[in-house]
Structure 1
Amino acid sequence: MVHLLGAEALHFEYPTQQVLDSVTLGVSAGDRVGIVGRNGDGKSTLMKLLVGKLEPDAGQVTVRSDTTIGMLDQSDAVDTSLTVGQAIVGDLAEHEWAGDPKTRDIITGLVADLDWTAQVGSLSGGQRRRVALARLLIGDWDILALDEPTNHLDVEGIAWLAEHLNRRWQKNAGGLLVITHDRWFLDEVCTETWEVHDGIVDQFEGGYAAYVLQRVERDRMAAAAEAKRQNLLRKELAWLRRGAPARTAKPKFRIDAANQLIEDVPPVRNSIELKRLAVARLGKDVVDIENAGVSFGEREVLRNVTWRIAPGERTGILGANGAGKSTLLSLVTGDLEPTAGRVKHGKTVQVGMLDQQFSQLEKIGSDRVREVLAQTKASFTIDGKEHTPAQLLERLGFRREHLSARVDDLSGGQKRRLQLLMLLLREPNVIVLDEPTNDVDSDMLTAMEDLLDSWPGTLIVVSHDRYLLERVTDQQYAILHGTLRHVPGGVDEYLQLRQAQERQAERNANVRNTEQANGTSSTSKLTGAERKAVQKEVGSIERRLGKLSGVIEGLQHSLVEHDQSDYTGLQRYGDELREAEDEVEELEERWLELSEQLD
C-alpha cells in the first residue's frame, strides 16, 4: 500500500507535562485509524502534529508530496458573517453543487434542517460544528483527520457519517484518523486503533472490540498492578461477546481467545437480583404515563404517550433532535405537567437527574472536591461492599490531588464524574441520564457503566452514544411522530423506521406537489370514528411487531444452534426467517402510513 504520512521519534511536551516521547508510526493508503486514550493524554496533540498544525520539539513528520490532508479541529471556527450555504459550498452556483450526488448526500446527512440563507453567527455551537464538518467532507482529501466528529450529531447523523466514511474511498485508498469517545463509531469505521498513554502510542489491529481483547491480553501479561483496569475490561469484553451479537459477528478478533478469557466472568448484570432489590426499594408503582400529550401553544410535541415504567427497568430513549426526548424526561421527573392525559408517580419514587448543564454543581463551584464529599453520607454499598465517597471517586478515575481542586477548576470530564457521584450518593431509586457521555473518555465510560451495572433501581437514558445505550439498557423506546413506541430491534430497527418515515414523507410531498400542479387536493381530516379506527390498527400493528421480534430472535438462534450439515433444516429456518422479516417490513410501512394520517 502507498505510504501517505510518517512520524519518526516524535517528542512533544508542555511546561507541566511530557505528552509524547520518541513516538514512531505511519499512515498508509487504506488505513482507518481510531485514536483512543484518557482525556489529557495527548490524542489531539498527536493528531495536530501529524497534520502539521503543531511542530514537534524533536523528531519529524514526513508527508508524501502530493498528499492532501483535511482536518476537523475541536476548535474549528467558521466565518460567522457567511451564510450557511456560503460556508459549505463557497461561491458555487446552485446547479453546480446540487448536481453533484456526493455534495447533495453530505448536505442532506448533516445540515438538511438548517436555513441555507441563515448567517452562521445566528447558529448554535452544535449547528456551526455540523456546518464545519459538511464543508470539510465536501472537499477531496487523501487523509481526513477528525477530532470528535460525532459531537452534536444524533444517532441518525452518527450512522450516516459512519456510512459516508466507509464508502468515501475505495478499499486501499485514502487514510482516516479519528478521535472519538463513541465506541460504536470506532468499531464501525476503524481497522486499526492507536492508544495514546504515558507518552507512548500502542498500536492494535481492528476497531474498539478488537482493541479491548488485545489490551486485556497485554495487561494480563504485564503486571498485577493493572488488575483493576483489566477486570473492568474483561467485564466489557464479556458484554461484547454475550450482549452484542451483531458487533462480534465481524471477524475482527479471535473468538476462541475471547471465549477463553471470559469463561469465569459472570454476566455484566444480575438482572433478576437487581429487579428484586428495585422492587424492595420502589414497590410496584414507579411512574405511569397514560395517554399523555404535551403542547406548547399550537405546537404538539408529544401525543397519546402511554408508558408504565417498572421497578428495575433499564430503558434507552431514541429520537431525532427536537423529537421530544427532553420533554418526555421532564414528564418522568415531574418537572413538567402534561397538557393532556396524566402522569402518576409512585409514593416512594425519588428521581435523580443527570443533565447536560452541570446544574447540580452550580452552587458548589467555589468548594473544594474534598469539602463536597465531606457533606455526603459516609459510605455507599456496591455489590455488597462498603465504599467511601473518596473510594468511589477514585473508581471513577479521580486522583488524590484532584480532591484539593475547586469544582469550577475541574475539566468537563471531571465535573461529569463528580456530578454522577453526587447523584449516586443521594441514593435515588430512579435515575434519568440526559446525554451522560459528554466530555467523558472511553476509560471513564467503562467505569461509569461498571457502577451502573450494580445500581439497583430504574434507569432511563437519553444518549446519542449507541454503544452506551446498548451497554447499560435492556430495551429501547423511540419517539416517532410525537408518539412513543417500543423498538424490540433496538437502534437498528429505529434507524430503519426513520428511513422509511423519510421515504413516506417524500412520497407525500410528491403527491401534494402533483395535486397542486393539477389544481386538486386529497387532504381531509379524519372524523372521530376514523381516528379511533386508525389508532386501533396502529396498536394492533405494534403488538404484532413485538411478537415478530421474538420470533425472529428465536429463528436466528435456531440457525446458529442447528446442525450445519442439515441443509433441509437450515433452509426451513431460513425461509421462515425471511417470511417474518418481510412481514415486519410490510407492517412498518403500514404503521408509517397510518401515523401520517394521525398527524
Structure 2
Amino acid sequence: MAHLLGAEALHLEFPTRIVFDSVTLGVNEGDRIGIVGRNGDGKSSLLAMLAGRREPDGGRVTVRGGVTIGVLDQADTLDDDDTIAGAVVGDTPEHEWAGDPKVRDVIAGLLGELPWEARLGELSGGQRRRVALARLLAGDWDILALDEPTNHLDVEAIAWLAAHLKKRWSASSGGLLVVTHDRWFLDEVCTATWEVHDRIVEPFEGGYAAYILQRVERDRQAAAVEQRRQNLARKELAWLRRGAPARTSKPKFRIDAANELIADVPDVRDKVALQSLAVSRLGKDVVDLLDASVSYGDREVLRRVEWRIAPGERTGILGVNGAGKSTLLGLVSGTVEPTSGRVKRGKTVKVATLTQRMDELDQYMQDPVRVVISNLRTSYTVGAGSKAQELTPGQLLERMGFSSVQLSTQVKDLSGGQKRRLQLLLILLDQPNVLILDEPTNDLDTDMLAAMEDLLDSWAGTLLVVSHDRYFLERVTDQQYAVLEGRLRHLPGGVDEYLKLRHAQDGARETKTAAPVATSGLSGAELRAAQKELAAAERKLEKLAGDIKKVHDRMAAHDQGDYEGLGALSAEIRALQEQTDQVEERWLELSEQIG
C-alpha cells in the first residue's frame, strides 16, 4: 500500500510532564485507524501533530507530496454570522454542489432537517457540530483526521457517519485517523487501533473488539500490577463475544481465540441475584405510567403512554432530540406531571438522576475529594447474593480510577471526566433504588467507560438510560424502548430495529448499518460453490494463524543478538500476514455474498 504520511521520533512535552518520547509510526493508503487511551495521555495532541496543526518538540512528520488532510477539531470555529449553506458549500454554484452525489449524501445525512439559510449563531451546539462535520465531509481529502466526531450526534447520525466513512474511499485508498470513545463506532469503521499510553503509541490490528482481544493476551503476560486492568478487559471481551450479535461476522479463527480466552469468565451480570435483591429493596411496585399524556400548550409530546417499570429492570431509551425522552423520564422521577392519565409510584421508590449539568457537585467545588466522600456513607455494597461485597468510599473511588493523589484535589480542579465519575459515586452512595442516567458517557475515555459499566453491573436496582453511545446503551441495559411520534415503543431488535423504524419514518435516509443483510440471489450451484470456498478460506486462516504463531515461537527462542536472523523471521511474519489479509478479505466477500 502507498505511504501517505509518517512520523519519526516524535517528542512532545508539557511544563509538568513528557507526553510522547520518540514515537515513530505511519499511515498508508487504506488505513482506518482508531486512536484510544486515557484522557490526558495525548490522543488529541498526537492527532494534531500528524495533521500539521501542532509542531512536535522533537522529531518530524512527513507527508507525501500532494496529499491533502481534512481535520475536525473538538473546538467550534464556525462564524456565527455565516449561514449553513455558506459554511458547507461556500460560493460554489448550486448546480455544481447539487450535482455531486457525495455532497447531497452529506447534506441529507447530517443537515436534512435544518433550514439551509439559517444563521449559525441561532443553532444549538449539536447542530453546529453537524454543520462543521458536513463542511469537512463535503470536501475531497486523502486523509481525514477526526477528533471526537460523534460528540453531540445522536444514534442515527452516528450510524450514518459510520456508513459514509466506510464507503467514502475504496478499500485500498484514503486514510482515516479518528479519536473517539464510541466503541461501537470504532468497531464499525476501523481496521487498526492505536493505544496511546505511557509516552508511547502501541498499534493493534482490527477495531475495538480485536484490540480488546489482543490487549487481554498482552495483559495475561504482564506483571501483577496490571491485574485489575486485565480483568476489566476480559469482562469487556466477554460482552463483545456474548452480548453483541455483530461480532459473529468475524473470522472463525478469531472467534475460537476469543472463546478460549473467556472460557472461565462469567456473564457480565448475575441477573437472578440482582433481580432478587431489587425486589427485596423495592417490592413489586416501582413506577407505572398509566395512559399518561403530556402536552405543552397545543403540542402533545407524549400520547397515552403505558409503561409498568419492574424492579431490577434495565432499560435504554432512544429517540431524536425533542422526541420526548426527557419528558418521559420526568414522569418517572416526578419532575413532570401528566396532562392526562396518571403515574403510580411504589412506597419505597427512591429515584436519582445523573444529569448532564452535574448540579450535585456545586456545593462541593471548594472541597477536596477526600472531604466530600468522608461526609457520606462509610460503606457501599456492590453485587448481590454470594458475590456481594462491602467497599469503603475510598475503594469505590479507586475502582472508578481515582489515584491517592487525586483524593486531595479540590473538586473545582478535577477534569470533566473526573467530575462525571465523582457525580455518579455521590449518587450511588445516597443509595437510590431507581437510577436514571442522562448521557452519562460524556467526558469519559474507553477505560473509564468500562469501569463505570463494571460498577453498574453490580448495582441492584432499576436502571433507565438515555445515551447516544450505542455500545454503552447495549452493554448496561437488557432491553430498549423508543419514543416515536409521542408513543413509547418496545424494540425487541434493539438499536438496529430503532434505526430501521426511523428510516421508515423518514422515507429517504438510507442507514446502511440498520438494514438487514441482503441475500445476493445466487443460484443453488453458485451458493454451494461459495459455501465450499468459504469453508476452505476458514481452514486457510486457521493454518496461517498457526504458522504465524510458530514463527513467533522461533523468534522468541532465537539469539536476540542475531539481527540478520531476526530480520528474516520478521519478513516471514509479514509475508504470512499479507496472505492472511488477502484470505480474510475474500472470506468477508464470500460471507456477504452468501448472506
TM-score band, normalised by the shorter chain? 0.7 to 0.9
From the superposition, tell whether residues 143 and 321 of structure 1 become closer, same or farther in structure 2 (CA, over 3 Å). Answer: same
Q: Deviations over 1:93-141 (max 9, x none)?
A: 3332222221111111112222222211222222211111100000000
Match of 1:25 in 2: 25
For residues 251 and 294 of structure 2, the distance between their equivalents in structure 1, rounded to whole angstroms, comes to 46
Match of 2:157 in 1: 157
* 1:467 to 2:471 alignment: yes
* 1:369 to 2:373 alignment: no
For residues 83 and 245 of structure 2, the distance between their equivalents in structure 1, rounded to whole angstroms, comes to 45
For residue 391 of structure 1, what is the amino acid of its counterpart? Q
For residues 321 and 39 of structure 2, the distance between their equivalents in structure 1, rounded to whole angstroms, comes to 27
For residues 464 and 43 of structure 1, the distance between their equivalents in structure 2, rounded to whole angstroms, comes to 22
Question: What are the equivalent positions in structure 2 for 1:501-520 lying under 5 Å apart?
Answer: 501-503=505-507
Q: Is the 8 A contact 2:20 2:199 kept in 1?
A: yes
Q: Is the 8 A contact 2:503 2:509 kept in 1?
A: no
For residues 29 and 249 of structure 1, the distance between their equivalents in structure 2, rounded to whole angstroms, comes to 24
For residues 378 and 37 of structure 2, the distance between their equivalents in structure 1, rounded to whole angstroms, comes to 32
Instruction: State the 4+ residue runs in structure 1 displaced beyond 3 angstroms.
Output: none
Tell me the TM-score normalised to structure 1 length: 0.83
* 1:197 to 2:182 alignment: no
Shift of residue 505 of structure 1? 11
For residue 406 of structure 2, what is the amino acid of its counterpart? H
For residue 327 of structure 1, what is the amino acid of its counterpart? T
Q: Deviations over 1:372-425 (max 9, x none)?
A: 101110011113221111111111011111111111211110010000101110
Match of 1:420 in 2: 424
Structure 1 residues 275-284 or 496-505, which shifts more? 496-505
Match of 1:436 in 2: 440
For residues 140 and 253 of structure 2, the distance between their equivalents in structure 1, rounded to whole angstroms, comes to 32
Among 397, 403, 409, the alignment partner of 1:399 is 403
Match of 1:261 in 2: 261
Tell me the TM-score normalised to structure 2 length: 0.84
* 1:280 to 2:280 alignment: yes
For residues 261 and 405 of structure 1, the distance between their equivalents in structure 2, rounded to whole angstroms, comes to 39
From the superposition, tell whether residues 253 and 454 of structure 1 become closer, same or farther in structure 2 (CA, over 3 Å). Answer: farther
Match of 2:551 in 1: none
Q: Secondary structure, in 3 states, of the residue corresponding to 1:233?
A: helix
From the superposition, tell whether residues 415 and 284 of structure 1 become closer, same or farther in structure 2 (CA, over 3 Å). Answer: same
Q: Deviations over 1:164-210 (max 9, x none)?
A: 00000001000000011100000000000000001001100000000
Structure 1 residues 75-84 or 285-294, which shifts more? 75-84
Shift of residue 340 of structure 1? 1.4
Q: Deviations over 1:344-374 (max 9, x none)?
A: 1111000010011111112222222111101
For residues 441 and 94 of structure 1, the distance between their equivalents in structure 2, rounded to whole angstroms, comes to 41
For residues 81 and 408 of structure 1, the distance between their equivalents in structure 2, rounded to whole angstroms, comes to 34
For residues 416 and 248 of structure 2, the distance between their equivalents in structure 1, rounded to whole angstroms, comes to 32
Match of 2:79 in 1: 79
Q: Is the 8 A contact 1:206 1:253 kept in 2?
A: no
Question: What are the equivalent positions in structure 2 for 1:61-460 lying under 5 Å apart?
Answer: 61-251=61-251, 254-383=254-383, 384-460=388-464
From the superposition, tell whether residues 143 and 252 of structure 1 become closer, same or farther in structure 2 (CA, over 3 Å). Answer: farther
For residue 301 of structure 1, what is the amino acid of its counterpart? V
For residues 172 and 504 of structure 1, the distance between their equivalents in structure 2, rounded to whole angstroms, comes to 30
From the superposition, tell whether residues 4 and 238 of structure 1 become closer, same or farther in structure 2 (CA, over 3 Å). Answer: same
Question: What are the equivalent positions in structure 2 for 1:14-53 lying under 5 Å apart?
Answer: 14-53=14-53
For residues 342 and 505 of structure 1, the distance between their equivalents in structure 2, rounded to whole angstroms, comes to 37
Shift of residue 252 of structure 1? 8.9
Q: Is the 8 A contact 1:302 1:482 kept in 2?
A: yes
For residue 11 of structure 2, what is the amino acid of its counterpart? H
Q: Deviations over 1:301-336 (max 9, x none)?
A: 110111000000000001111111111111111110
Shift of residue 253 of structure 1? 7.0
For residues 252 and 54 of structure 2, the distance between their equivalents in structure 1, rounded to whole angstroms, comes to 33
Q: Deviations over 1:60-102 (max 9, x none)?
A: 1100011000000111411122111101110123332222221
For residues 504 and 479 of structure 1, the distance between their equivalents in structure 2, rounded to whole angstroms, comes to 20
Q: Is the 8 A contact 1:431 1:459 kept in 2?
A: yes
Structure 1 residues 444-453 or 73-82, which shifts more? 73-82
For residues 386 and 275 of structure 1, the distance between their equivalents in structure 2, rounded to whole angstroms, comes to 19
From the superposition, tell whether residues 253 and 437 of structure 1 become closer, same or farther in structure 2 (CA, over 3 Å). Answer: farther
Shift of residue 448 of structure 1? 0.2
Structure 1 residues 89-98 or 202-211, which shifts more? 89-98
Q: Secondary structure, in 3 states, of the residue corresponding to 2:291?
A: strand
Structure 1 residues 249-258 or 339-348, which shifts more? 249-258
From the superposition, tell whether residues 153 and 202 of structure 1 become closer, same or farther in structure 2 (CA, over 3 Å). Answer: same
Q: Is the 8 A contact 2:411 2:419 kept in 1?
A: yes
Structure 2 residue ranges without an equivalent (≥5): 511-530, 533-595
Shift of residue 289 of structure 1? 0.3
Shift of residue 501 of structure 1? 1.0
For residues 342 and 285 of structure 1, the distance between their equivalents in structure 2, rounded to whole angstroms, comes to 15
Q: Is the 8 A contact 2:304 2:487 kept in 1?
A: yes
Q: Is the 8 A contact 2:109 2:509 kept in 1?
A: no
Q: Secondary structure, in 3 states, of the residue corresponding to 1:246?
A: helix
* Cα RMSD (Å): 1.5
For residue 359 of structure 1, what is the amino acid of its counterpart? D
Q: Is the 8 A contact 1:303 1:483 kept in 2?
A: yes
Q: Deviations over 1:215-263 (max 9, x none)?
A: 0100111211100010111111111111112223223971222111111
Q: Deviations over 1:473-496 (max 9, x none)?
A: 000001111100101000001101
Q: Is the 8 A contact 1:240 1:248 kept in 2?
A: no
From the superposition, tell whether residues 505 and 105 of structure 1 become closer, same or farther in structure 2 (CA, over 3 Å). Answer: closer
For residues 25 and 398 of structure 1, the distance between their equivalents in structure 2, rounded to whole angstroms, comes to 31
For residues 289 and 251 of structure 1, the distance between their equivalents in structure 2, rounded to whole angstroms, comes to 45
Match of 1:487 in 2: 491
Q: Deviations over 1:519-573 (max 9, x none)?
A: xxxxxxxxxxxxxxxxxxxxxxxxxxxxxxxxxxxxxxxxxxxxx99xxxxxxxx
Question: What are the equivalent positions in structure 2 for 1:536-555 lying under 5 Å apart?
Answer: none
For residue 264 of structure 1, what is the amino acid of its counterpart? D
For residues 252 and 19 of structure 1, the distance between their equivalents in structure 2, rounded to whole angstroms, comes to 39
Match of 1:576 in 2: none
Shift of residue 504 of structure 1? 8.4
Q: Secondary structure, in 3 states, of the residue corresponding to 1:328?
A: helix
For residues 120 and 263 of structure 2, the distance between their equivalents in structure 1, rounded to whole angstroms, comes to 54
For residues 307 and 351 of structure 1, the distance between their equivalents in structure 2, rounded to whole angstroms, comes to 16
Structure 1 residues 242-251 or 224-233, which shifts more? 242-251
From the superposition, tell whether residues 79 and 252 of structure 1 become closer, same or farther in structure 2 (CA, over 3 Å). Answer: farther
For residues 64 and 395 of structure 1, the distance between their equivalents in structure 2, rounded to whole angstroms, comes to 45
For residues 296 and 247 of structure 2, the distance between their equivalents in structure 1, rounded to whole angstroms, comes to 41
